[in-house]
Structure 1
Amino acid sequence: MQGLAKKAVKGLKWSAVERFLTQIIQLLIMIVLARLLGPKSYGLIGMLTIFIAISNVFVDSGFSAALIRKKNADNLDYSTVYVFNILVSVIIYLILFLLADKISLFYNEPELSLLIKIIALPIVVNSLSLIHKTKTIVEMNFKLQAKISFFSALFSGLIAILLATNGFGTLSLALQVLTQSILNTTFFYVYYPLKIKPKFSLTRFRSLFGFGSKLLLSSLLDTVYNNIYLVLIGKYFDPSTLGRFTQSKQLSMLPATTLSTVIQNVTYPMLSSIENSNSNYTDEALQSTIQLACMVVFPIMVGIAVISEPLISILLSEEWKEIPVYISILCIAYMVYPLHAINLNLLKVKGRSDLFLKLEVIKKVIMTIIIVISFKYGLTAICIGIAIQMYLCLIINTYYTGKLSRVNTIKQIKIVFPIYFSVIFSAFIGYFLSMSIESDLIRIFTCLTISLFLYALCIFNFQRALFYKIYNFFEFRFINEKYKC
Structure 2
Amino acid sequence: MVLKHKIFRGVAWNAIGSIVDNGLGIVVKLILARLLLPEHFGIIGFAVIFIGLIESFADLGMSAALIQRKEKNLKPEDFDTAYWAGLLWGGFLFALVSLVMAPMAARFFDEPMLVEIIPVLSITLLLRPLWAIHVASITRELDFKRIVVPRNFSKIVAAAIAIGMALTGFEVWSLVFQSVFSELLLVLIYTYASPWRPRLRFSLASLKSIFGFGLYTTGTKVFNYLTGNIDYLLIGKLLGAHSLGVYTIGYTVTYLVRSKIMDVINKVFYPVYSKVQDDLEKVKKYYLKVIRYNCIVVYPMMVAIILLAEPGVLMGLGDKWRDAIIPMQLMAAAGLVHLLTSSNTVLLRGIGKPRLELILSIVKTLGVNVPLVVLGVIYYGIIGAAAGLLLAKIVIFFINSVTLKRVAGIGFIEIVENAGGLVAIAVLVSALVFLEIGYVALLVAFLVYLVVHAMMSYKDVIRLLEIYRSRKKSVVAEAEGGA
1:14–1:428 CA distance, 2 compared to 1 (3 A): same
1:315 corresponds in structure 2 to 316
What's the CA shift for 1:267?
0.6
2:417 is the alignment partner of 1:414: yes
1:202 corresponds in structure 2 to 204
2:149 corresponds in structure 1 to 147
What's the CA shift for 1:133?
1.5
Deviations 1:446-478 (A, max 9, x none): 343222124345x27xxx87667766777899x
2:355 is the alignment partner of 1:357: no
Q: Which moved more, 1:67-76 or 1:324-333?
A: 67-76
What's the CA shift for 1:141?
1.8
Deviations 1:130-183 (A, max 9, x none): 111212211222112221122211111111121122222211221111111111
2:304 corresponds in structure 1 to 303
Q: In the TM superposition, what are the counterparts of 1:186-265 in structure 2 within 5 Å?
A: 186-192=188-194, 194-265=196-267
What's the CA shift for 1:329?
0.5
Task: Name the CA distance, whole Å, in 2 between partners of 1:357 and 1:158.
Answer: 38
- Letter matched to residue 28 of structure 1: V
Task: Name the CA distance, whole Å, in 1 between partners of 2:224 and 2:108.
Answer: 23
1:448 corresponds in structure 2 to 446
1:97 corresponds in structure 2 to 98
2:29 corresponds in structure 1 to 30
- Letter matched to residue 448 of structure 1: F
Contact 2:374 2:385 in 1 (8 A): no
Structure 1: gaps spanning 5 or more residues: 478-485
Q: In the TM superposition, what are the counterparts of 1:170-189 in structure 2 within 5 Å?
A: 170-189=172-191
Q: In the TM superposition, what are the counterparts of 1:367-386 in structure 2 within 5 Å?
A: 367-377=369-379, 378-386=381-389
What's the CA shift for 1:13?
0.6
1:202–1:338 CA distance, 2 compared to 1 (3 A): farther
2:344 is the alignment partner of 1:343: yes
1:93–1:287 CA distance, 2 compared to 1 (3 A): same
2:33 is the alignment partner of 1:43: no
Task: Name the CA distance, whole Å, in 1 between partners of 2:206 and 2:161.
Answer: 41
1:403 corresponds in structure 2 to 406
- Letter matched to residue 410 of structure 2: V
- Letter matched to residue 105 of structure 1: R
Task: Name the CA distance, whole Å, in 2 between partners of 1:201 and 1:56.
Answer: 24
- Letter matched to residue 64 of structure 1: S
Structure 2: gaps spanning 5 or more residues: 472-483
Task: Name the CA distance, whole Å, in 1 between partners of 2:434 and 2:369.
Answer: 33
Contact 2:137 2:196 in 1 (8 A): no
What's the CA shift for 1:308?
0.7
What's the CA shift for 1:122?
0.7
- Letter matched to residue 254 of structure 2: S
Normalization by structure 1: what TM-score?
A: 0.90
Equivalent position SS for 2:128: helix
1:467–1:106 CA distance, 2 compared to 1 (3 A): closer
Deviations 1:189-247 (A, max 9, x none): 23335321132211011111221211111221221232222222112222121011112
Contact 1:426 1:452 in 2 (8 A): no
Task: Name the CA distance, whole Å, in 1 between partners of 2:202 and 2:321.
Answer: 50
Count residues in correspondence: 467
Task: Name the CA distance, whole Å, in 2 between partners of 1:345 and 1:373.
Answer: 30
Task: Name the CA distance, whole Å, in 2 between partners of 1:41 and 1:443.
Answer: 35
Contact 1:294 1:416 in 2 (8 A): yes
1:58 corresponds in structure 2 to 57
Structure 1 stretches of 4+ with a deviation exceeding 4 A read 431-434, 442-445, 464-477
2:128 corresponds in structure 1 to 126
Task: Name the CA distance, whole Å, in 2 between partners of 1:335 and 1:258.
Answer: 15
Contact 2:230 2:370 in 1 (8 A): no
